[in-house]
Chain A
């Protein structure tokens, strides 16, 4: 190399870096971040996820159920008297706000009365098919001949009617019973009874139910809705100054979550930077020279953001929370190049780089290979993290090599404490060997005691105040802990209704003392609906049989003339039309809160069932029913993804180790493989012995920590061979990584905390191993 070459190299390096920065910045500036970055937890799960829980949750999240907002008003001047007029006013104001689709004060029975009238008027179409079907099945079990069906049914109906009159509600239903002696509507009332809420004016509150138009996960569904609520309530307060308002909705959680995650990104990055600077102050002589590492980290992050947004149309914000700590890894290459002294005065940068290229490439490429395996994960979030980190590492290495080419003296001098400790190894050899032996035992025994538990709720920052407020509101609206809520689904309304029938039969067997109520009971199964005309046709003599049975049971059959007229008309002209028309007819009158309890026209149809008391066993998979508690955690789904990530991580580890044995000789390769793997198993062993519960993100953290530890093992390979302590860059790099990931462990997002803690502990363990291993071996040649 001649004297001109370094200048030319400097120019080329500067030009390449400038073009890279310009292109990346230009690309990132033109992005629509609201469109490209998601804060919705459900976006962490792939669109094609076959799990029924996820399908149901997606349906709920994208459906009107997610857009519901609940309001409770209380008059502080008259706490026992619900401010019903104020609630009416608030509902009216909200209903007129463009962002709200509908709003209604609970207790305004107009909609319910309309629905009740409709059900009563359509009882022969809606309820008679099920009544006939059930009777037919019960008759079938008696083994009697078909011709006895009509008198048997008449006797049974009259007997049921007589028994019903002894029930408490009979007195208030006598007019209804006169028109409906088959008890179609009273039986429906008895079945939907467990849906009961504590009252429209629960605990001195007047309640308002509302639904917004946009998704609660979008910006349009958040601040505009909140502003509309504030405006509406201000108008209410103008008339009713002593009224107080509590309100909740998914959009409040989504907005709080977004704000907190954004805050975490800023503060964690700042704290991470300060932590790295603090480590630098302790280990570096000229602190200001560490500023040369900032462009390297900046280029790594810039490259990672650009590559990820180029490769993925939509990324989850957690990728950036976790990926922002890429700086902890990216800084390694900068340290290693920057802190290596020249072999002789005036050593050209290219020569120095050539000398360091093998460990640099070995470290970077093996880590990239490991993380690239995450690209095969089923979970888009893990694919995105794998891609982000891989791209960032490649950019970090390239940026470090190019950036330091521009410096006249690319050397950062570290402090020298602890350098000569190896010379006193004999005194410490015994205790250190005992320590390593203990660590090996922990690494071998502890992991067997690990407990794994995945919970989708840990992906978000808990908001105790919002949760308490939401729970209080839901209790006022009737959501009590003594009941379990299930969703029964199907590809069509007919299928969902059939599955509901199966689920209710299962519940009756599994928990005979429990009550199960569902709005789905308003509709017949498709089978009963289709068979009704034929069944009616075979009940020619039923009217006569029923009159006789009524007389036998002490009734005046003439008092039921209205019913017999209705029956005759129905027999002559049974309800007709397609099955789906039943739902279409009723849908216009099922509005407001009632509409939350079923969905018969979405891509996935479902019915909600409330079972009281709670605590009945979870329904088996074949019933197409999931508990709402099950939906809140999605444990099963995430457990599957954890196993997938574990397989990929182990494959990645295998590849990394294989690469090391290809690049290095067996003895050095064995050391390089054992330090990261040992550190990782030791920390998992400690977690196991301490009873810590781990999840998918501890596993990801372990893989990240393993790759970092792998760097230190490679970079310290030469010094270890010489029995010397590791070079200063490793100490600095490891402490910086531990500091920055330690900062991550302060996150309030449980999974991010878990990931940060795991990485920090593995890195510190690996550093301790790298530092102490030569001393424990002792007697190494100088």
Chain B
């Protein structure tokens, strides 16, 4: 049963998702055809791509169309290029979400785990988030049309999914910051349905101990 059953229900959940209008930034004029070789962007993108372990604090705000105020979550994100991404939510409920090549694993405070298979459609948005946090340019270019705007050190990138399946549940990913620092990621489904992730203090080249690796990755 099963993965298929689980996926089915996740699919069922996303099946009726509303298609969103892209933000105004998504203009043909802002399209970056080849971000890796565009002189205006390659320095920033090279800086954002983590070649080493990275640990950031974050605040996540989830906006739902049936709720007046966002749900606010806080935590830390760990990125180990070889192992994947680990989101450690601290509030309102401790939980670890691990995203790697095998899919998604949710580990609750008591250590109980629930896996979601790698091919689940529910993972599309998470995969997008992983690609963004890794700034894996070849994958980003393959899966998204990249738009950008940059002025006086402030910059914004908009990633529009090319895959219709992903596009049905994710209109765009907006990434913004100042200078060479990532400040915010928005996963936008519609104007009323989106997730904002505010990136706080970031530490590059962190060494994760064996205990940390066991706790935050698989």
> What residues of chain A have their CB less than 8 Å away from a CB belonging to chain B?
106-107, 109, 112-113, 115-117, 119-120, 162-163, 165-178, 185-186, 188-190, 192-201, 478, 512-515, 519, 554-556, 559-560, 593-594, 596-597, 612
Contact = CB atoms under 8 A, between A and B. Distances in A.
A192 to B, nearest CB: 6
Give the dominant DSSP class at B's interface. mixed
Contact of B119 (A175, A195, A200): A200
Interface in B1-48: 1-18
Given A172-B10, A172-B125, A173-B13, A106 B112 contact: no
B2 A197 contact: yes
A169 B71 contact: no
Given A165-B67, A175-B15, 20 more contacts: A109-B7, A109-B8, A115-B5, A115-B8, A116-B12, A117-B12, A119-B9, A163-B93, A166-B71, A171-B189, A171-B195, A174-B193, A185-B13, A192-B2, A192-B9, A196-B117, A197-B1, A513-B111, A559-B66, A594-B2
A195 B6 contact: yes
B85 to A, nearest CB: 12
B116 interface: yes
Contacts of A556: 66-68
B3 A200 contact: yes
Given A162-B71, A165-B67, A555-B68, A197 B4 contact: yes
B92 to A, nearest CB: 5
Contacts of A106: 4
Contacts of B17: 174-175
A471 B183 CA distance: 48
Contacts of B165: none
Given A171-B195, A200-B117, A554-B68, A515 B112 contact: yes
A171 B62 contact: yes
Given A172-B125, A175-B17, A195-B2, A109 B11 contact: yes
B207 interface: no
Interface residues of B, number: 53
A515 to B, nearest CB: 6
18 contacts: A107-B119, A113-B11, A115-B5, A116-B11, A117-B12, A168-B97, A168-B104, A171-B125, A172-B13, A172-B14, A174-B13, A174-B17, A176-B16, A192-B2, A195-B1, A197-B2, A515-B112, A554-B69
B50 interface: no
From B13, B17, B62, name the one whose CB has the most chain A CB atoms within 10 angstroms: B13
Per CB-CB distance, the 8 closest pairs between chain A and chain B, nearest first, are A559-B66, A197-B3, A112-B8, A173-B13, A176-B13, A199-B117, A195-B1, A193-B114
A189 B110 contact: no
Contacts, number: 163
Interface of B: 1-18, 62, 64-69, 71, 73, 89, 92-93, 95, 97, 102-104, 106, 110-119, 122, 125, 169, 187, 189, 193, 195
From A199, A559, A593, name the one whose CB has the most chain B CB atoms within 10 angstroms: A199
Contacts of B112: 513-515
Contact of A188 (B4, B9, B14, B97): B9
B54 to A, nearest CB: 20
A449 to B, nearest CB: 42
A557 to B, nearest CB: 9
A163 to B, nearest CB: 7
A554 B92 CA distance: 16
A178 B1 contact: no
A174 B103 CA distance: 21
A203 to B, nearest CB: 10
Nearest to A197: B3
B5 A112 contact: yes
Nearest to B126: A168
A117 B14 CA distance: 12
Given A175-B13, A200-B117, A195 B71 contact: no
A109 B4 contact: yes
Contact of A554 (B13, B67, B93, B189): B67
A175 B93 CA distance: 23
From B69, B102, B117, name the one whose CB has the most chain A CB atoms within 10 angstroms: B117
A116 B8 contact: yes
Nearest to A180: B13
Contacts of A519: 1, 5
From B11, B66, B125, B187, name the one whose CB has the most chain A CB atoms within 10 angstroms: B66
Contact of B64 (A107, A165, A201, A512): A165
Contact of A166 (B1, B16, B73): B73
Given A168-B95, A514-B112, A196 B66 contact: no
A196 B115 contact: yes
B92 A199 contact: no
B96 to A, nearest CB: 10
Contacts of B95: 167-168
B108 to A, nearest CB: 10
A554 B193 CA distance: 15
Contacts of A198: 3, 102, 115, 117
A519 B3 CA distance: 13
Given A166-B93, A594-B2, A196 B9 contact: no
Nearest to A193: B114
A178 B111 CA distance: 30
A185 B12 CA distance: 10
A107 B15 CA distance: 17
B68 to A, nearest CB: 5
B93 A195 contact: no
A198 B67 CA distance: 35
A540 to B, nearest CB: 24
A596 B71 CA distance: 40
A612 B113 contact: yes
A377 B169 CA distance: 67
Contacts of B65: 174, 178, 559
A513 B110 contact: yes
A167 B122 CA distance: 14
A169 B67 CA distance: 17
Contact of B169 (A119, A172, A177): A172
A120 B12 contact: yes
B106 A113 contact: no
